[in-house]
Amino acid sequence: MKGGSMIIVLKPNVTPEQKDHIIQKIIIGGLAPHIMQGVERVVIAVIGDDRKLPKESLASLPGVEEVIRILSPYKLVSREFQKEDTVVDVNGIKIGDKKIVVMAGPCSVETREGTLSIAQEVQVAGAVILRGGAFKPRTSPYSFQGLGEEGLEYLSEARAKTGLIVITEMMDPRDMPLMLKYTDIIQIGARNMQNFRLLSEVGKCRKPVMLKRGLSATIQEFLLSAEYIFAAGNHQVILCERGIRTFETATRNTLDLSAVCVIKQLSHLPVIVDPSHAVGKAEFVPALARAAVAVGADGVMIEVHSNPAEAYCDGEQALLPVQFKELMVSLRKIATAVGREM
Ligand code: PEP
Ligand code: MN
């Protein structure tokens, strides 16, 4: 993007007329204003080639306190644009607040009974969000691809019975009506992190979106993908570090815990860590989940299955409900130690 972008911080006592005038000025200049209503004041992001509208001509308008240039390639998701942490509120569950949020459940939704029983167990252990894929992005076309709408129905029933909120993956823009009907949070999987049409599509809806980091995506690419969702109008975005592909083969992927601190500095968005897909082996999941909370993640996503050996997918990395319960006890201690709640 040539020329970069700017944020215009309005004075706390700006009048509606002054605000309209500023917005008109931006539009006449051929640029797009993004208005963010903060707690204390309004800021307007001006995205596009700002050579069309010099910084000085905006800074002198009545009602403008300050004009700041955003240097990073991503704009709306950057810390430069918004200093305070974004808290995504999903039916009262706050993601990115002081409280650590735990999402848990099977890799894929398999049976009605299995889904209900896992939901019950993870809820009792302290999870607040139920995960489970109904559309599965499998490496092989011959692997189980998910139950589709039937799976979404089981998740809904589990939600009604337990009060857990539901997160499930969306792979295809054509499934938006199903997502709107059944899920509380839309998950965009690692393999679709750069499916830009899909990102724009979820950007147009008003459901919270959890975007997982691509298998080989840099942090900058990850944040630019989140920017697509923001730019399309949806500001309820949660990021998820789920391991990246490296030369190491001892684990499924390499969990990039440093990404959590780096992203926290660069962006205001909440960050969840998924140690299950990162390490790929159940025995290492608890230690990495604890490390994630210690390093500043806002929550973790954990795969749990009652009978991992028989799981349709990702059984090697699934915790048994009893192991999940133990993990929750130790996670609470870590959360307290780092000044968080759980
Ligand atoms: C998942 O969480 O179900 C999943 C497929 O993970 P990822 O997209 O990170 O591989
Ligand atoms: Mn999985």
Write the pLDDT tens digit of every residue in 7-46. Answer: 899 999 999 999 999 999 999 988 889 888 766 778 898 8
**Domain identity same for 39 and 98:** no
Q: Give a yes or no: residue 173 inside a domain.
A: yes
Mean pLDDT to the nearest integer, 221-246? 96
Out of 20, 37, 70, pick the residue that ends a domain.
70
Residue percentage of the chain with pLDDT more than 90:
85
**Domain identity same for 171 and 290:** yes
Protein residues whose CB sits closer than 6 Å to any atom of ligand 1: 107, 133, 137, 169, 189-191, 212, 242, 277
Q: Give a yes or no: residue 193 inside a domain.
A: yes
What value does the mean pLDDT of the chain take?
Answer: 95
Question: Residue with the nearest Cα to atom 8 of ligand 1?
Answer: 189
Q: Give a yes or no: residue 78 inside a domain.
A: no
Instruction: Give me the pLDDT at residue 321, please.
Output: 98
Q: Give a yes or no: residue 281 inside a domain.
A: yes
**Domain identity same for 46 and 163:** no
Mean pLDDT to the nearest integer, 252-280? 98
**Domain identity same for 134 and 265:** yes
Residue 241 CA, ligand 2 centroid: distance in Å: 14
Q: Give a yes or no: residue 213 inside a domain.
A: yes
**Domain identity same for 9 and 131:** no
Write the pLDDT tens digit of every residue in 171-198. Answer: 999 999 999 999 999 999 999 999 999 9
Residue 255 CA, ligand 2 centroid: distance in Å: 15
Index of the ligand 1 atom closest to the CA of residue 242: 9
CATH of the domain at 32: 3.30.70.1140
Q: Give a yes or no: residue 77 inside a domain.
A: no
Out of 40, 70, 100, pick the residue that ends a domain.
70
Out of 19, 43, 70, pick the residue that ends a domain.
70
**Domain identity same for 58 and 178:** no
**Domain identity same for 56 and 128:** no
**Domain identity same for 155 and 46:** no
Residue 277 CA, ligand 1 centroid: distance in Å: 7
pLDDT of 135 above 80? yes
Residue 127 CA, ligand 2 centroid: distance in Å: 17
Instruction: Give me the pLDDT at residue 13, please.
Output: 92
**Domain carrying residue 34:** 5-70
Position 323 confidence tier, pLDDT thresholds 50, 70, 90: very high
- Name the residue with tokens 């974004």: 86
Residue 341 CA, ligand 2 centroid: distance in Å: 27
Lowest mean pLDDT among 44-53, 230-239, 250-259: 44-53
Q: How many domains does the chain have?
A: 2
Position 123 confidence tier, pLDDT thresholds 50, 70, 90: very high
Q: Give a yes or no: residue 260 inside a domain.
A: yes
**Domain identity same for 34 and 135:** no
**Domain identity same for 177 and 303:** yes
Position 1 confidence tier, pLDDT thresholds 50, 70, 90: very low
Lowest mean pLDDT among 73-87, 200-214, 281-295: 73-87
Question: Residue with the nearest Cα to atom 9 of ligand 1?
Answer: 190
Q: Give a yes or no: residue 238 inside a domain.
A: yes
Instruction: Give me the pLDDT at residue 81, please.
Output: 86
**Domain identity same for 324 and 179:** yes
pTM of the model: 0.93
Lowest mean pLDDT among 61-70, 130-139, 315-324: 61-70
Counting ligand 1 atoms within 8 A of each CB, the residue from 187, 215, 245 with the most, and so the one to mutate, is 187
CATH of the domain at 214: 3.20.20.70
**Domain identity same for 188 and 259:** yes
- Nearest in space to 256 (alpha carbons), one of 338, 305, 321, 190: 190
Instruction: Give me the pLDDT at residue 3, please.
Output: 52
